[in-house]
Structure 1
Amino acid sequence: MKAYIFPGQGAQFSGMGLDLYNNSPLAKELFDKANEILGFEITKIMFEGTAEELKQTKVTQPAIFLHSVILAKTLGEDFKPEMVAGHSLGELSALVANGVLTFEDGLTLVSKRALAMQKACEAQESTMAAVLALDDAIVEEVCASIDGVVVAANYNCPGQLVISGEIAAIDTACEILKEKGAKRALKLPVGGAFHSPLMEPAREELAAAIEATTFSNPICPVYQNVVAKAVTEPTEIKENLRAQLTAPVRWTQSIQQMIADGGTEFIEVGPGKVLQGLMRSIDRNVAASGAEFKS
């Protein structure tokens, strides 16, 4: 079975989407529509912006979403997903790709998500850290033993788990995890504690926007971050998406379940190759490649 996977924050680069804009009338139309919906020229930042400009959450999230979704739409007849999944932000790209959300509604939710997360980050200083080469259960145990907020946030692949929380709690966790044998426990250059209880204000804000949005029947199952299994019922998809901002991204478990359910070919749609790299660490016997636009 053919599975399409969509990247999250961190995959952005200057010049992303420019080839699509220049060579596909459909892509140009959608990018121009996105500028209208967002109320600023995101295309200018995507095509010409500095790394610093692209790093602003209000830009990064819509930019990655647009690159992913528009690339999927330009694949035309070649795009026939039998299962989809997206890493964090990428879940919204996946939901547009499999017909649950319209392009316009998906982009509006992504923009609201980015602004709500930015606000939550500014309200309380917090961060995330990558923990390498340590068993998930040990990381979870250490997080649970620390005073203050620190939780397992992204199960990226075996041996790579990202933790999220208050700065002091993260610092303490990193020291203990290194003592426990982690190869590395390294703070990430992010603005806040994504996928932790500290995102609760953003979750509440986004939940209202999700509730007001129409969710349609999908053309194929989506493997959602929160539950790491196939979901096809719109009300359940909506519920899981509402929970996503404060719940961990169970990416390893999602991919393993997709393989168990018959996924044999995984195609990453969007900027970069992050998910292809994670695929090799999860199961290197499964084919993983990137979607390519053919003008």
Structure 2
Amino acid sequence: MGKIAFVFAGQGAQYTGMGQSLYACSPAAKEVFDRAEAIRPGTIRQCFEGDKETLGQTINTQPCLFTVDYACAAAAKEAGISPQGAAGFSLGEVAAVAYCGVLDFEAAFRLVCRRAELMDDCAKQNPGAMAAILRLTPEQVTDACEGFDAVFPVNYNSPQQTVVSGSAQQLDAYIEKVTALGGRAMKLPVSGGFHSPFMAQAAKGLASYMAGLEMAEPALPLYANYDAAPYCAVRAKELLALQVQSPVRWQKTVENMMAEGFDTFVEVGAGKTLCGLIRKIAPQAQVYQVENEQTLLAAGQALAGGERC
């Protein structure tokens, strides 16, 4: 029997009402929401009632999704699901850092609020957008960037999906190019060109903010977006800063975790994007999600106590 990993959802998965059913049914989830609300009043209302426009603003998206991610993980743990490792996608990596004890909840939540401010400022100063490219290999997506000085491959999600960031002026032309090559492009509901050089100033600002923070060794193996390798306390600040302006190596992360004996992944947070990606990367893996009462019950019945369905 292999190991269970929690994987924390990233930006773009947000929707109105996320986390609300868990708030009602799980004391552990409710406590998380209440703690976030005490630090940043209005967080609960934005999660439960915020419209698409409100939740799509980076300064709101990131603290709200962090809260939902962590609350889902807390509810899963309360239900008896015990992970042996973790990873988070983009924003989700900060929630994973908190869950694994590298930072305590309050410090991590304040960090994600500052991260959101810095990335929002960068997005306004350097307008950009993101698009997922399907039906082309990562190599084809990367090669298609030739001739564009403001389009970058940024999320290596699966063998069939790579995300690019680009300027508003160049991204549409890039999409025309990949479409002609047989690819399909979907613009993402984000407000900037994340994980690219567009975010260089945000990375510097985040490094400066973290200078006064104490990072602990992770209580569980925690895999980094930047290099798909396990965290250690001495590199935690560097990894969190670099992540903002560097590609997310999600496919490699999942492959490395599979090689280390992780065969079951529980996506904690809004949506099921990571479930879909993991199924494409490792069809042999068992994949579950926890985002509401129904999925919590299903995952708990399958996995509590280490059992598999």
Q: TM-score range by the shorter chain?
A: over 0.9
Q: Where does residue 228 of structure 1 map in the other structure?
A: 228
CA distance, structure 2, for counterparts of residue 13 and residue 174 of structure 1: 26
Q: Where does residue 106 of structure 1 map in the other structure?
A: 108
SS at match of 2:114: helix
CA distance, structure 1, for counterparts of residue 33 and residue 254 of structure 2: 30
Could you tell me which amino acid in structure 2 is paired with residue 288 of structure 1? V
Q: Where does residue 132 of structure 1 map in the other structure?
A: 134
Q: Where does residue 99 of structure 2 map in the other structure?
A: 97
What is the CA-CA distance between 1:79 and the residue it aligns to? 4.1
CA distance, structure 2, for counterparts of residue 255 and residue 110 of structure 1: 24
Alignment of 1:211-222 (within 5 A): 211-222=211-222
% of aligned pairs identical?
A: 38
Q: Where does residue 202 of structure 2 map in the other structure?
A: 202
TM (norm. structure 2) is: 0.88
SS at match of 2:262: coil
What is the CA-CA distance between 1:293 and the residue it aligns to? 4.1
Q: Where does residue 286 of structure 1 map in the other structure?
A: 285
Residues 1:116 and 1:274: Cα distance change in structure 2 (over 3 Å): same
Could you tell me which amino acid in structure 2 is paired with residue 6 of structure 1? F
CA distance, structure 1, for counterparts of residue 14 and residue 253 of structure 2: 23
Residues 1:115 and 1:15: Cα distance change in structure 2 (over 3 Å): same
Residues 1:179 and 1:27: Cα distance change in structure 2 (over 3 Å): closer
SS at match of 1:213: coil
Contact 2:103 2:215 in 1 (8 A): yes
What is the CA-CA distance between 1:61 and the residue it aligns to? 1.0
CA distance, structure 1, for counterparts of residue 102 and residue 126 of structure 2: 33
Q: Where does residue 4 of structure 2 map in the other structure?
A: 2
Alignment root-mean-square deviation, CA: 1.8
Size of the alignment, in residue pairs?
291
Could you tell me which amino acid in structure 2 is paired with residue 191 of structure 1? S
Q: Deviations over 1:123-170 (max 9, x none)?
A: 122111221111211221221x22422110111111111111212232
Residues 1:283 and 1:27: Cα distance change in structure 2 (over 3 Å): closer
Q: Where does residue 176 of structure 1 map in the other structure?
A: 177
User: Is 2:144 aligned against 1:142?
Assistant: yes
Could you tell me which amino acid in structure 2 is paired with residue 116 of structure 1? L
TM (norm. structure 1) is: 0.92
Q: Where does residue 244 of structure 1 map in the other structure?
A: 243
Contact 1:195 1:246 in 2 (8 A): yes
Q: Deviations over 1:75-128 (max 9, x none)?
A: 237242211100000001111111111110111111111111111111122111
Query: Structure 2 stretches of 5 or more lacking a match?
Result: 301-309
What is the CA-CA distance between 1:213 and the residue it aligns to? 1.7
Query: Structure 1 stretches of 5 or more lacking a match?
Result: none
CA distance, structure 1, for counterparts of residue 222 and residue 177 of structure 2: 36
